[in-house]
Amino acid sequence: METSPPEKKDTQVQTETPEGATSVQVDEEKLAEWLRKIYPKVKKELDDSANSRAFKGYKLSTDSSDANCKLVQILNVASQVKDAEIGSYVSAMSWNSTNQTLAVSCGIIIWNIQKEDDQVVAKVEGHGDGITQLSWIIDINSAKNVLLASSGLDGLLSIWNFSLNESALTIKERHQIRSQLMPKNSESQEETVKKIARGVTCFDFSKYSPEIFVIGGEGGLVVQCSLLGSRKLQGSKDEAPLLDSVFKYYEGHKGEVSSIKFSPNRREMFMTSGSDSEIRIYVVDQEEPAQVIFLKQPLLDVSWVPYEERIICGCGKNGVIEIYNLLKGKAIENTTKEKIKSEIMTQVEINKTKSNIVAVGTESGHVQMWRVPWALFGNLSL
């Protein structure tokens, strides 16, 4: 019986189309044009990251004995402040979306930390009273726009358009924060206004719902606000509208609210700290805090740590980055071996891309860049 040899097919030249597959047509000219447009921007970002002084010398370690915060760089913000009334201490900071530009408040100053010289990009005074918080935020109406939000003791949260090409900040809109307090008939109009209008001590915008933000107000006020559905207030101007955006009130602190941060890991949670020596964890839909951590002394700022749900950090009068185990509500001791002059730390801001890089503002008007091995601190047993 004769058998024919099996049919051979060269896989390099086989042209049969697999069952269910579809043919995709590619316009190579349009693809090449898009690559030509996008390549310079991608190359610039890669070059900037590769040449960054802030990220040099980083090595991954898994040894918990290496858990040590290291000082990398110091910026002298106070040298840029000419007006003695503004003050030189760092009251607020925020990394932008590329995580190479840092907004710092002494007035409002925009820094590009990648540059060797001429690091200041733009400056503006911004508020009628002290500036308390800064944050780069998403424009819910246009992804092309770059916006900066600022708050002050004048009772306003202001949103600014930022133009890098023109090195300028221009006001877009203002939000006035008021308390729930109802006026009594016996009080004068001036006394009523003083009680209702509250200075804004801090705020944060949700990363998951960018129209939602929570503010801390004078007197321990904690309020949820929304950019959607805001109504114009008396005295509002078309070029810089004055808006009421208050949506919901939470159970407030017994002292002043020093910091508010939405969780980068859980969309429904935010954290506050206050002069009453409490860190509070709130769930957005609940008025009362879900967890309270009691401190030995108050912190001036707190922050979640991206990708690390077990730890949070803060800063204050101790002059070091303070790290806490969130699950146990306890502090992690001896976070740094650096021998530096101790001074009050007023702000802490973690780089969103390189989360091991942390900017810390001080009372003397300096910004310290620290390298922090978060994972190692998270693995420490208490």
pLDDT of residue 114: 62
The DSSP bridge partners found for residue 147 are 137, 161
Contact 122, 111 (CB under 8 A): no
Q: What is the pLDDT of residue 362?
A: 92
Mean pLDDT by 10 residues, the chain (382 residues): 50 49 67 75 64 48 68 83 62 76 71 63 68 87 85 90 76 85 46 63 93 94 92 81 92 95 93 96 96 94 91 93 91 82 90 90 91 88 66
Give me the numbers of helices (H) and strands (E) for the chain, helices first please: 3, 26
Q: Is 11 left (phi over 0), alpha (psi -120 to 50) or beta?
A: alpha
pLDDT of residue 58: 45
Q: Which residues contact 181 (CB under 8 A, 6 or more apart)?
A: 195, 196
Contacts of range 205-210, beta carbons closer than 8 Å, 24 or more positions apart = 205/135, 205/137, 205/138, 205/149, 205/262, 206/262, 206/267, 206/270, 207/262, 207/264, 207/267, 208/262, 208/267, 209/267, 210/137, 210/138, 210/140
pTM of the model: 0.73
The percent helix, strand, coil of the chain (3-state, each to 5) is: 10, 40, 50
Which residue, among 305, 309, 306, 307, has the nearest Cα to 322 in the 3D structure? 305
162 alpha-carbon distance from chain centroid: 17
Contact 244, 233 (CB under 8 A): yes
Assess contact for 341 and 299: CB atoms under 8 A: no
Residues 6 or more apart whose CB falls under 8 angstroms from that of 232 comprise 241, 242, 243, 244
The end-to-end CA distance of the chain, in Å, is 81
Q: Which CATH number is associated with domain 65-379?
A: 2.130.10.10
Report the C-alpha gap between 312 and 330 in whole angstroms.
10
